[in-house]
A and B are shown apart, each in its own frame.
Chain A
């Protein structure tokens, strides 16, 4: 079974530029998560989708971050404009359904550096 795919793996941009990350979850997984992991910290949930609907986006900085999951499959996370403090690894994860009974499978992450 193929795992969670993310691209690009690395991205360097200047502040005020925009950037987009792509995630393709495991086939058949209804729930998709985007996390931000700043160096030395644990992952922070940015947004959680159930199929193509948003379940939780309470920690998403909506003035600059946006995410969509068209057709309930792959997803895109965008930052516009980027700030220095957005430098982090952006992790995508998926699970069969939401809830503690279902394991989250993580992708390799996209490392973003904002200069």
Chain B
């Protein structure tokens, strides 16, 4: 079946540290991959996406590369800020007879000054 697995949180980093949040997936066919972010007290919002193998999505200093060979879409940022504290969700859309959406369990990130 189709599924998304993320590294367990919570992740706690100091400001300016390097961030990696792992995401791997299982899917039939060739899914599109997404990272969503949920800041405290706010709704989910799209952070970045990639729709085919080797594509790199980027936004607000975050990057993720669609790796078909390892079925991964790891989120990275070179230098995190306190304002990046949030819950991050990896998600996929796989094309069947319609577009099926599946979210991962989320990874909580806390950045301390």
Contact = CB atoms under 8 A, between A and B. Distances in A.
Contacts, number: 55
Contacts of A107: 43
Interface of A: 4, 33, 35, 40-45, 48, 50, 55-56, 91, 93, 98-101, 103-109
B43 A42 contact: no
A47 B91 CA distance: 17
B43 A41 contact: no
Name the prevailing secondary structure of the B interface residues. Answer: strand
A108 B44 CA distance: 8
Contact of A98 (B51, B89, B99): B99
A98 B32 CA distance: 13
Contacts of A106: 43-45
Nearest to A31: B99
Contacts of B102: 45
A58 to B, nearest CB: 9
B74 interface: no
A100 B49 contact: yes
A42 B101 contact: no
Interface stretch (B14-22, B76-84, B103-111): B103-111
A42 B105 contact: yes
Given A100-B32, A100-B93, A108-B43, 15 more contacts: A33-B101, A35-B103, A42-B91, A43-B103, A45-B100, A45-B102, A48-B101, A56-B98, A91-B43, A91-B44, A100-B31, A101-B51, A103-B46, A106-B44, A107-B43
